[in-house]
Structure 1
């Protein structure tokens, strides 16, 4: 397909751009296959370069009166920015609207800009190969309990799992295949994390017990192999009992107590995150609508914030993740987490539990590795979930901001433990943006299988390759970071949870003063570090000088004794 066929008016003069915190700009609009560009000849006025994939909704408002009056196009973007284009001529106005509507609704991932982007810098390391399972679990597979399985190398056992899986050494591949047939989508229990005390975190999808109460000895064998003899574990089902009954009537269900006697089952009501019925995105839309309404009173604002249930979802996720973390850390018990498909709520809970327990996940590379393990390699369908966002009228029930919930939960932990994270929340914002629209191929596709089919590693650049460049990463390092090897146990009381102003309100409230203050704080902290470094250096010099003086005194004393 030729992008030129979709663009009716590629260039247009006299377009007026209205954007947050800037005066209107009169300039030339240029539409390419992937970008909307507005430039002007005025000095000190920055050009607008907008990736068309970032546009979630294109709306038009024609000026009443003469057919020559043109109209206004409103662009609502996936980064919460609203842009307005005023176009004087009606024909041009309709042509630009049609072009942007077509380009912002392209369905094929291979048409995204990631396949056309060519970095102008040297790639120092390939982000696509940084966090392979063989490397991430190298210490585990060097022992006697775990091994690498390539049973899914052609993605025939489970299309949403990666080609390399870490499984118990005592479980053969035939058992894995049989167990996969008992779990929805073939997602049999796999290793997610091993805690320092040896407790294991597993994840899977729901068992297909149906109303006939089917069992799978292969599935039971895998789970019992994790525990060993005379040990107990927990199954955290992220669904309510009522929803489990509904799933059972459709062929799913939950583990039967009689066949999993070593496992204690706990139900958590994260149904809205499990159902994928579009309600989560509807909740988020209500939050953003409230954030965008500057005219409402404080009472209405708080009411609409409560109606959105966004912070309630965060509270429920943190509560469940803390429960999992306590089972692993305090009880030393292994845990299996699953909902229905194991693609949304399950990944939220297992990944946040690891941020709570594992200090490595609170570093830059550790966070990248966590996203690779628990989201990309675990088959979270980014292409489907992020096709549309909160402004689009054409969004479907398959679109929901599960991954944004994950990032917001980390933001809550960061807010309560600001010095325990190597990175600032700006890194979370960059990752959020790139998960919805990007120059990079990291989040393209719904699974590793899709990315292999699309040849992502050959035709695109990794986001991690860009972020890990020293000149880029320094912008996201936390100046007050102090490595903390202990677990961080957050408060989940409503009063402890905060709205992510830095993200949701950044185009509503100008944050230049907060940014300026943060830069001053960073400068002062750097000065303090430099001063401490100088003091340490001076102390070392003083110690060296004292040693030289002592040596000199000894030489003088020896010389006096020799004379006598």
Structure 2
């Protein structure tokens, strides 16, 4: 499927194919793109192309998706130069019975295995948290999610406590309504919207991802209630901070 690589990519699908093939050339047995029309309908909020471990079948993806909010199954979104991985997934639908999904656990374990297999020699020699999964829940403390994390061996769970989408929308309306250009106390007016606070906690959460991936060689999985609140901007910001292309005076 990815045998033909175009020199100049015209569509996003071509860009993905080029990048995917380039990044996995030496580890092609570890990853694959699972998507077909059936899986696109399964999770319409996901892009057309995703990356999962090659050991996971589409049937396992369908079963794992049943356990995640909005059927957002675990998918790999970044592999760093040291081999460390960032993955995203919908929040587990544990519920009051504290149920769990074997297929979901197998899929997470497969991502852990692929992460360990792609770590570079330098990162292995550093010996920092190589096998310890870090799950970042974007929202506030949740006892059910904390209990579910116990099903993953060698796992740490952290709550980023970012405000929910309703608070963000309310703050955005306050920001649009404020007129800081004609206000003597413009900084106080801006502070009251809580927008600077929202940006601050988002950057702090992204920095947490960057530190664990770049310095500690850890696999980081990010999730929230529906994946459409802070998950995407948090991961995107972390990827920009990790991308060497942007680490120069031109972009910062």
For Structure 1 versus Structure 2, the TM-score category normalised by the shorter chain is 0.7 to 0.9
Shift, 1:297, TM fit: 2.0
**Structure 1 residues 164, 420: CA separation in 2 closer, same or farther (over 3 Å shift)?**
same
Question: In 1, Cα distance between the equivalents of 2:14 and 2:169?
Answer: 30
Shift, 1:286, TM fit: 2.3
Q: Of 229, 235, 251, which aligns to 2:135?
A: 235
Question: In 2, Cα distance between the equivalents of 1:338 and 1:197?
Answer: 23
Question: Which stretches of structure 1, 4 residues or more, deviate above 6 A after TM superposition?
Answer: none
Q: Of 276, 285, 288, which aligns to 2:173?
A: 285
Deviation per residue, 1:111-159 (Å, 9 max, x gap): xxxxxxxxxxxxxx88544654322211234322111212455623212
Q: Of 296, 307, 321, which aligns to 2:206?
A: 321
**Structure 1 residues 199, 154: CA separation in 2 closer, same or farther (over 3 Å shift)?**
closer
Question: In 2, Cα distance between the equivalents of 1:128 and 1:313?
Answer: 34
Question: In 1, Cα distance between the equivalents of 2:111 and 2:13?
Answer: 28
TM-score by length of 2: 0.81
CA contact (8 A) 2:40 2:46 kept: yes
CA contact (8 A) 2:139 2:162 kept: yes
Tell me the number of residue pairs that the alignment of Structure 1 and Structure 2 aligns. 228
Shift, 1:258, TM fit: 2.3
Q: Which residue of 1 aligns with 2:19?
A: 136
Question: In 1, Cα distance between the equivalents of 2:12 and 2:222?
Answer: 27
Shift, 1:282, TM fit: 2.5
**Structure 1 residues 341, 191: CA separation in 2 closer, same or farther (over 3 Å shift)?**
same
Q: Which structure carries more relative contact order (alpha carbon 8 Å, separation 6+)?
A: 2
Q: Which runs of 5+ in 2 are unaligned?
A: 1-7, 117-129
Q: Which runs of 5+ in 1 are unaligned?
A: 1-124, 363-416, 422-487, 489-564
Q: Which residue of 1 aligns with 2:184?
A: 297
Q: Which residue of 2 aligns with 1:269?
A: 161
Shift, 1:325, TM fit: 0.4
CA contact (8 A) 1:192 1:201 kept: yes
What secondary structure does 1:256 align onto? helix
**Structure 1 residues 128, 183: CA separation in 2 closer, same or farther (over 3 Å shift)?**
same
CA contact (8 A) 1:286 1:304 kept: no
Question: In 1, Cα distance between the equivalents of 2:189 and 2:34?
Answer: 49
CA contact (8 A) 1:165 1:190 kept: yes
Deviation per residue, 1:264-309 (Å, 9 max, x gap): 100011132xxx32x3233123223333551x323xx222111111
Question: In 2, Cα distance between the equivalents of 1:310 and 1:338?
Answer: 22
Question: In 2, Cα distance between the equivalents of 1:232 and 1:223?
Answer: 12
**Structure 1 residues 325, 152: CA separation in 2 closer, same or farther (over 3 Å shift)?**
farther
**Structure 1 residues 138, 255: CA separation in 2 closer, same or farther (over 3 Å shift)?**
farther
CA RMSD of aligned residues (A): 2.4
User: What are the within-5 Å matches in structure 2 for residues 521-560 of structure 1?
Assistant: none
Q: Of 241, 249, 252, which aligns to 1:419?
A: 249
State whether structure 2 residue 42 is matched by structure 1 residue 157.
Answer: yes
State whether structure 2 residue 35 is matched by structure 1 residue 147.
Answer: no
Deviation per residue, 1:536-564 (Å, 9 max, x gap): xxxxxxxxxxxxxxxxxxxxxxxxxxxxx
CA contact (8 A) 1:270 1:316 kept: yes
What secondary structure does 2:179 align onto? helix
User: What are the within-5 Å matches in structure 2 for residues 220-231 of structure 1?
Assistant: 220-228=105-113, 231=131
CA contact (8 A) 1:235 1:266 kept: yes
TM-score by length of 1: 0.38
State whether structure 2 residue 153 is matched by structure 1 residue 258.
Answer: no
Question: In 1, Cα distance between the equivalents of 2:176 and 2:229?
Answer: 22
What secondary structure does 2:212 align onto? helix
User: What are the within-5 Å matches in structure 2 for residues 376-391 of structure 1?
Assistant: none
CA contact (8 A) 1:152 1:162 kept: no
Q: Of 236, 244, 249, which aligns to 1:359?
A: 244
